[in-house]
Structure 1
Amino acid sequence: MITLPLAYRLSGGWLHIGPPYIYIDIDPILVQLGPWLAVRWYGLMYVVAIMVGLWVIKGYTTRKGIDQDMVYRILWWCIAAGLIGGRLYFVIQQPNLVQGYLLQPQRILATWEGGMAFYGAIFLVIPTLIWRARVERINPLVLIDAGVLFGAAGQIFGRIGNLINGDIIGYPTTLPWATVYQNPHSWACLNPDTCNVPVQPAAGYELLINLFVLGLMLYLAKRVRRPGILMLVYLFSYTISQFLIFFTRANDIVSFLGINVLKQAQWTSLIVFILLLPLTYWVLRRSTPVPVGEVAATYGIPQKPQTELETKVLTEETSEIPASETAVTPEEPAAAEETDSTETVADQAVSHEEVADTNQESTTSETTSTPETLATEETPTATVADQDVEKPAETDEAVDVNDLPAVPKDKETPQKA
């Protein structure tokens, strides 16, 4: 049996596999930092569970239309809800609830003393997911499906933490895979009846079931288009497995409705199972498969109008643009062309007048010009100029007469004595 001593050496003496049992000698405290601060295996497993859970659901959320920014916004709410719900549900199940916790409320926050009930996390996380889905305007069932996929992946590392802690103790057994806790700081060794005693590895059973459920959900996640199916698969799997596994756990029998047969988690599993029946009917009846090409997260969910903010920003930007920078309308180039043509005609008229003046100067010495003659000669020029000035008025935009070149007065025909 070469592999058995090898496993013992590789684990630094923490793990010794047979024969005939599995011996665990691990201190729940990984690193002690001063008298008040310690890094524990169980807390480290929570961090690893969150990181692995995010990695597992990344592809799923991307396919369903949930971006990573939204995932992180929702994640912190769910972590807080899971810790609070899991701790409170554990506390209310304790037989010394009044003396141990209500009269000593500081112990409620003492998670390092052990005690988290996963059912409590489920009961508070699911309403939190529904609330955040309404805030983000996405389908709550799609978000819950992503949440249970995250939980199935993270639970695996939680069970590893339970195995190291020794806080899930099964009944004594002689099975070859029984677990024996040897470290004096282990939770199992707080009770002499369970220290160095082979017991049922209840946490190991849950670990194997979690691996199977995660594989099943990853298979369905790529094939099922109806939102809510992953939620039902996970909840049914968890309730049934908890009901069965607790037959191997050495927990106290709890009386409920005068029946002293089951334990607290088993009663909870029965109630949850009954509630899942109408929930399953509702999901199968109300939830419809998402058509191919549609975004599952927003399909059928009214979205906030996107033009409200965009219109406000566009209005503010437009009001800040100077009038001189506004776009030129198609009519302006036409007006400009007509103005240029008007100026050209006026220039031609002026040139024609200059030529006439030159001819008159050349003939002045021969003929004396009378006022009547000059008036007669200037009449055509004035008529052309007047026509040119009135021409821009036919366009859509009137041209200012002042912008046209005026006929120089000094170009009038000089009257020589």
Structure 2
Amino acid sequence: MDFKTLGVAKALARRCEAMGIESPTEIQKLCIPAMLSGKRVLGIAETGSGKTLSFTLPMLTELQKDPYGIFGLILTPTRELAIQIEEHITAIGYPFKVSVATVIGRTDMTEQSREIDKRPHFIVATPGRLASMIQSPHISTCFKHCRYLILDEADRLLSDDFSEDFNTILDHLPPKDQRETHFFTATKTELLENLAKQSDMTVCDCSGSESIKLPSTLSHSRIDMARHHARYANLVQLLLDPVEADKQAIVFANSCLEVETVCRVLRELGFPATQLHGNLPQRTRTSNLNSFRSAKNKVLVATDVAARGLDIPNVAMVVNFDLPPTSRASDYIHRVGRTARIGMLGTAVTLLKTQDREVMDLIEEMIGRPVEALAGKALAEHEEKVIELLPKVTAAMADVKRRMLEGGQAEEMDRLTARRGVKRAGKKRD
């Protein structure tokens, strides 16, 4: 089966072939014909399975029939994912002069307003920034002919965190009988399943199981942390093998300050590390992510802004320096989904603090399997190496924290985080 068989325009199918995309994936086989026939779609498939093309190709096929104004709006929870989707649509639509704009936070709002005024074919946006802009009459008018609304990472977008912004955006789009709304996710949730039933939606489910499915090539383990401060030495020991083998790793921490500190400690110890979190300017975030994608940096330390949807193909290991909070335990699935992509081997290791045992219980219930603790000979060998590393790592931690304190970085991080917290409380996330 090829893309033309699915109903994709011949010129688009040829473009796919020219880009080396010769055969549709399973999720594309299900979603593309359904969208082209006018059905509302809920597409469920793991990251890396081709969900972006599943909604891009039908929209581009229909765009050729009526290429006027803002034709499609794609909402996504993070800026990095918005930029990635914009790049994919631009690449596939390049021969057809398809125009795409991103509307995301931490970038110039005046410039974004000018881009919307040009009425590009597609807008890719984060909810907070678009919600604050679309209430302006001249911006709202630009969306009056919008035919498609796509929710990528729909499970996250439909959470309480985004509900007010999402409803604001809906209020300024054409009524639902004049547009098509489609949902795409890597995580099957009860909310989405109920929504599909109530809305007579076509469910295109490639998750393969009623429970959350993770790749068989992904190994999970945990190291129980009796001492909180020993996490740094444990992390360093975990990273030594992947880095020496020229492989890449992502380290997840829960706060911007923790990410900053961990990254600085790793760099102090000679690791080629970079960071990604919400307090960084967007230009820095994009640059850091690109340096990791290109393997200039082997370690990415990040908050959950890096947990969803990003296309980083060669990650060998994911380390949970912190587990996500209980209310977002499912983010574990998205974090570990950064490795073991497309049949490749991957490792996920959690440095488990005593107070996180409840979260781990929830995670194990979700994935339907225990996350085994490192034990026996393997644990003994690991601990021996950690003990050897402790003096060097402890000294690096002290130096980094002293410099951050003297330079005021810790206070600046707290200030930025507090400001972002106020914005969230006011429902102005971007």
State the TM-score, normalizing by the size of structure 1. Answer: 0.20
Structure of higher CA gyration radius:
1
TM-score when scaled to structure 2? 0.20
Q: By percentage of residues, which structure has more strand?
A: 2
The structure whose residues are more often helix, as a share, is 1
